[in-house]
Amino acid sequence: MAGNAIPMFQQSHRREEAKMLKLTCVSMITLALVFPLNEAAAAESKELRKQRQEAQKKRQEKKKQRAAEIAEATKSFQEFARNLKAETQEKVKELDVEFELKRVELKADGSAKVAVAEAEYQKKVTSLFMKPGVQFDAETTKKMQADGKAYADELFALQKESAEVLHKEMISNEKRKNELLTQMDQLALEKAASLGLMKEYDPILATPFGDGLTKQEEQWNDREYKEVAIIKERNQYTVSEFEYGATLRAWEIKSREEDFELIWQEKAEDHALGAEQMFYNLLLMQSGQDGAVAQQEFLSRLAELNKEKQLIKIKYKKISDQNRIKRREEKKKIQVR
């Protein structure tokens, strides 16, 4: 029985050796298959890194080139615009000189006509009170007041007409200047377009390699989208004054027209009260010689006229202040375009 135990042990040992050999072979085969795969993956990863690095280098070169192009274009445009504005301003100055000379002439002519009319007005009004045997009863006073107002209205109409002549000439001069400046704007915008400052730049984006974009490449693309938006905004600012120039000047001319109308609306209301005020002052002067004139009534009316004139001034000051605030915001909106 002891003799049989030895062969059985040997057989068991051989089975264990065979089993171990089998496991070793399997392991070697597995390693033989895995190592080439790892080497291939490593080689592929190295190639992807190389491609990404080369692509990043190209993007950086393109970005650098873009920045240089924009800087050169901006510098060239600013120099062109500076010279263009200087040339145009000389022409604008010539128009202003012509207008000033004409304005002096028109103002002198208008002032002469108004001076003659004022002298005539004073004579007519004085004659109302200097008629021999004039009696300041209610009916006579009413007629004298109506005649005095008619004389004052004639004078006021002449003053307004003289002012309108000057105003129209001023507006005509502004429109002539606007034509020159609009031509300047068009030339500037054409130059900006030729230099590429009016176009929208495409972002220089990273493209995916292998499984897709890396986190670094995604961050690059995000920065590029922001960068082209900044470039667009910066270029728009560079040329903006030439884009909104014509709109702004037209708005300024319109505002001057409105101001002129408002000024003469106030003058008209003030004039009506002023004519009546002058009439009552003359009546008061006469009342010192004629006790029949109701001084207290005239003084009361003069006080009322003074109050109404102050209210007119307050009303138009309010309108003027409101217009100033509104126009400030309107101007901002035009310049933000």
Backbone angles phi, psi at 211, to 5 degrees: -80, -10
Residue 135 pLDDT: 67
Closest CA to 62 of 258, 270, 205, 225: 205
Asked if 88 and 181 count as a contact pair (C-beta separation under 8 A), the reply is yes
Span of 40-54, 222-236, 306-320 with lowest mean pLDDT: 40-54
pLDDT over 80 at 60, yes or no: yes
Task: Band the pLDDT of 12: cuts 50, 70, 90.
Answer: low
Using CA atoms in the order 98, 102, 104, 108, what is the torsion angle rounded to 10 degrees? 170
**Rounded CA gap, 24 and 296, in Å?**
136
More confident residue, 134 or 305: 305
Residue 2 pLDDT: 45
Residue 19 pLDDT: 62
Closest CA to 230 of 201, 204, 194, 210: 201
Question: Stretch 57-76: mean pLDDT, rounded?
Answer: 96
Question: Stretch 187-197: mean pLDDT, rounded?
Answer: 96
Asked if 327 and 255 count as a contact pair (C-beta separation under 8 A), the reply is yes
Residue 44 pLDDT: 56
| Type of residue found at 85 | K
Span of 17-31, 61-75, 190-204 with lowest mean pLDDT: 17-31
Can you read off the two tokens belonging to residue 278?
A: 């002058």
Task: Band the pLDDT of 34: cuts 50, 70, 90.
Answer: very low
What is the per-residue pLDDT across 194-205, written as a single tens digit (0 to 9) for each? Answer: 999 999 999 999
Residue 16 pLDDT: 65
Can you read off the two tokens belonging to residue 205?
A: 């984006």
Backbone angles phi, psi at 209, to 5 degrees: -120, 140
Closest CA to 165 of 105, 249, 206, 210: 105
pLDDT over 80 at 235, yes or no: yes
Residue 32 pLDDT: 46
Highest mean pLDDT among 33-37, 71-75, 285-289: 71-75
Show me where the domains of the chain are located: 71-336
| Type of residue found at 24 | T
Can you read off the two tokens belonging to residue 320?
A: 């003027």
Closest CA to 296 of 287, 309, 305: 287
Task: Band the pLDDT of 137: cuts 50, 70, 90.
Answer: low
Per-chain mean pLDDT for the chain: 85
- DSSP conformation letters of 149-198: HHHHHHHHHHHHHHHHHHHHHHHHHHHHHHHHHHHHHHHHHHHHHHTTTT
Closest CA to 164 of 235, 255, 263: 263
More confident residue, 118 or 263: 263
Asked if 207 and 45 count as a contact pair (C-beta separation under 8 A), the reply is no
Residue 98 pLDDT: 97
Span of 102-116, 134-148, 155-169, 313-327 with lowest mean pLDDT: 134-148
Beta bridge partners of 212: 209
253: Cα within 13 Å, side-chain hemisphere? 18
**Rounded CA gap, 335 and 337, in Å?**
6
**Per the confidence metrics, is the pTM higher than 0.95?**
no
Span of 68-82, 114-128, 210-224, 278-292 with lowest mean pLDDT: 278-292
Quickly count: other Cβ atoms within 10 Å of residue 271's Cβ: 19
Beta bridge partners of 209: 212
What is the per-residue pLDDT across 74-110, written as a single tens digit (0 to 9) for each? Answer: 999 999 999 999 999 999 999 999 999 999 999 999 9
- DSSP conformation letters of 18-38: HHHHHHHHHHHHHHHHHHHHH
Residue 15 pLDDT: 65
Task: Band the pLDDT of 301: cuts 50, 70, 90.
Answer: confident
Q: What 8-state DSSP symbol labels residue 131?
A: S
| Type of residue found at 337 | R
Task: Band the pLDDT of 297: cuts 50, 70, 90.
Answer: confident
